[in-house]
Amino acid sequence: MADRVSPRLAAIVEALPLRPGLRVLEIGCGPGTAARAIAERIGPNGHVLATDRSAKAIAQAREACRTEIDAGVLGLRQVAAETFVLEPGEEPFDIALAVRVGALDGRYPEAGRDARRRIAAALKPGGVLYIDGGNPLRKIDLD
C-alpha cells in the first residue's frame, strides 16, 4: 500500500472486501490516497472511479494518481455525491466508499437522501456502500 496512507485510512482500505477485478466507486476522494491504495488491491483488471465535488481535490488526485490513471485502473470525476450518475455505457460498481463525506455522515440529511439514491443506482445488484464511522467502516443500507 502507498506509504503516504495514514494508519486510519489504511485500516479503512484493509477493511473493504476488495479482490482483483472489482469496480469501486469512491465518493469524496480528496487527493486520491485511498483510491491509489484500492487500485493496488484490485489489480489491473479492476477499476476505481474516484469522485469529489472539489476541483482542487480532483487536480491533486490527478497529479498523485498519474500512474494508475495511465494504466487505466483509476479514473477521476468532479461531481457531488448527490448529483452523481453513471455516464452512458458506464458499467455499475461492485462497492462504493465514502470517508468524511457530509452528505453521507448525517451532516446534510437532504443531500444524503439524494446521494444514497444516486449511489444505489450506480451499484450492481447486491452492491454495498461503506462509510467511515464504524470499526473502521459501516455498511449503509441503500434499500
pLDDT at 142: 87
CATH number for 7-140 (one of 1.10.1200.10, 2.60.120.200, 3.20.20.100, 3.40.50.150): it is 3.40.50.150
What's the CA gap between 11 and 64, in Å, rounded? 20
What's the CA gap between 119 and 99, in Å, rounded? 14
What's the CA gap between 57 and 74, in Å, rounded? 15
pLDDT at 106: 86
pTM of the model: 0.95
Residue 88: DSSP 8-state: T
pLDDT at 2: 45
Return per-residue pLDDT of the chain as tens, 143 residues: 445 789 999 999 999 999 999 999 999 999 999 999 999 999 999 999 999 999 999 999 999 999 999 999 999 999 999 999 999 999 999 999 999 998 998 889 999 999 999 999 999 999 999 999 889 999 998 87
51 with 79: CB under 8 angstroms?
yes
pLDDT at 3: 52
pLDDT at 1: 44
